[in-house]
């Protein structure tokens, strides 16, 4: 099954969260999902791959799981540093590092001020 990432992800703001979640689940359930982590812990973007240090990998796994959806700062911090308090500067630094690793692969991490981050396609 080949899935066009742009066509499959709802961009209409009136689409319900349930519909958006269903589409995201379908995208990531497929073995050939356009953005996924493989069994070796590499982020696969089509045929390309990106490796991450441990903390950035945990951040990216959470963002990939919710591709195209807002992920709150608290959820990301808990994923990256389970059970440890983390200040916003540390999260910002690690998101920036992950963003630089994926930007040449057609992806970006968009900050939603005061709320969290969204992993999405990079608009040219």
12: CATH: 1.10.10.10
**Residue-wise pLDDT tens digits, 38-89:** 999 999 998 899 999 999 999 999 999 999 999 999 999 999 999 999 999 9
pTM as predicted: 0.73
Domain that holds residue 72: 5-121
Q: How far is CA 87 from CA 17, 91, 95, 98, 100, in A?
A: 29, 7, 13, 17, 21
Split into its structural domains, the chain has a count of 1
Query: Buried b / exposed e across 65-81, counting CB within 10 Å, b at 16+?
Result: bbbbbebebeebbebbb
The predicted structure's pLDDT at residue 8: 38
Rounded to whole angstroms, how far apart are CA atoms 117 and 96? 11
Highest mean pLDDT among 16-20, 26-30, 46-50, 71-75: 71-75
How many angstroms separate the CA atoms of 102 and 85, rounded? 26
């Amino acid at each position: 099954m080949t899935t066009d990432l742009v066509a499959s992800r709802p961009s209409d703001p009136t689409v319900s969260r349930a519909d958006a979640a269903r589409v995201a689940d379908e995208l990531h359930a497929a073995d050939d999902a356009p953005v996924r982590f493989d069994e070796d812990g590499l982020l696969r973007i089509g045929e390309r791959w990106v490796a991450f240090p441990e903390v950035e990998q945990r951040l990216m796994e959470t963002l990939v799981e919710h591709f195209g959806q807002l992920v709150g700062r608290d959820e990301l911090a808990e994923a990256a540093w389970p059970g440890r308090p983390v200040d916003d500067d540390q999260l910002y630094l690690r998101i920036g590092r992950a963003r630089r690793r994926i930007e040449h692969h057609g992806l970006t991490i968009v900050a939603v001020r005061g709320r969290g981050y969204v992993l999405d396609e990079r608009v040219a």
